[in-house]
Amino acid sequence: MEDQGRVEKLLEEILDVQREQLEQYKNVTKRSLELQQVAVGRQEQIGKIYRIALIVSAVVVAGIIGLVFYLLQYLPTRYR
């Protein structure tokens, strides 16, 4: 009978360790998902900023090109 009690105690200890491991796994998984959600949010923000910067840059470049053509068209002929 004593062996039976030792086996039961050992099985209970194994079960307790498995429960602890499962709880830790759940916590790690939850934290990992939270970090992934934060990363996705930041990527979306960066994408918006990138698009805005791209549009502003395109407008500035178009303005500079327009200014160059304007100046070339209206420069006095003595400077050409």
Question: Residue 5: its pLDDT value, please?
Answer: 85
Checking if the pLDDT of 79 tops 70, the result is no
Between the CA of residue 31 and those of 24, 39, 43, 62, 77, what are the distances in Å?
A: 11, 12, 18, 46, 70
Averaged pLDDT of the chain: 92
Q: Dump pLDDT digits (tens) for 8-66.
A: 999 999 999 999 999 999 999 999 999 999 999 999 999 999 999 999 999 999 999 99
Domain ranges of the chain: 2-79
Checking if the pLDDT of 78 tops 70, the result is no
Q: Which residue has the tokens 């099985």?
A: 11
Confidence of residue 75 (pLDDT cuts 50, 70, 90): confident
